[in-house]
Amino acid sequence: MSQSGSTLSITDIQAVSPALGRYAQEDVLGDLWRRPQMSPRDRSIVTVSVLIARNQGFDLKHYMNVALDSGVSPAELSEIITHLAFYSGWSNAMSAVAAAKEVFAERGIKADQLPPASPELLPLNEEVERQRATGVEKNVGPISPGLVTFTTDPLFLDLWQRPALAPRDRSLVTVSSLIASGQSAQITYHLNRAMNNGLTAEEAGELIAQTAFYAGWPNAFSASAVVGEVLRNRPK
């Protein structure tokens, strides 16, 4: 990562706000990214997801490079963008594709490092999928049959089963994007899914701290209330 947490140099930041330069070095780089409660790899997944979800191109290439330097593979980055096409909108993904294309070119990443369009999918957990489909059919079926159809396929029978991004990481991307865009109402389902997929309570808490810096304190506080409710309601 740069010495500033941004495409901007620390000198550029100081030319407008010496204080922001200090916060960048002391709090963001010196503290947040070094906390042991979440790995730098996971922090980079969260941060890239937040930036794509909020359509913030300014530092996106910078943090895609941070991710690739922190153990995220090109195939995983490709899947993160693909996943967020559905969770944060088609045009957010297109902007991210344009940024990633440049990053891949600069690093010499070739097509053979990317996941195929139609790989063999992960085995489906039929019971989890049955519950999900039943709930959506009941709640959304009478209102938008089209949304029910597309949610089943391509979303849950295809995208979520693609093997190049682990289900736990896919959930991490999803929850990060929900927090980043203030969509508290959708956090409950996906945080439970994330924890069923292996995300720990400590990681969930630290995810909130990471999003505070990159999506703003208000989104983190709003998420905290919902995350607390999920944690209290999970079977011990």
Interface of this chain with a copy of itself, residues 110 to 139, rule: CB under 8 A: 111, 114-118, 139
Stretch that binds a copy of itself, among 3-11, 65-73, 125-133, 191-199 (CB under 8 A): 3-11
CA 138 to chain centre: 28
Quick one: 199 or 212, whose CB is closer to a copy of itself? Answer: 212
- Of 23-31, 65-73, 122-130, 191-199, which segment contacts a copy of itself by CB under 8 A? 23-31
Q: According to CB under 8 A, which residues from 175 to 204 bind a copy of itself? A: 177-178, 181-183, 185-186, 204
Q: Which is nearer to a copy of itself, 2 or 197 (CB)?
A: 2
By CB under 8 A, how many residues form the interface with a copy of itself? 100
Of 29, 41, 65, 89, the one binding a copy of itself (CB under 8 A) is 89
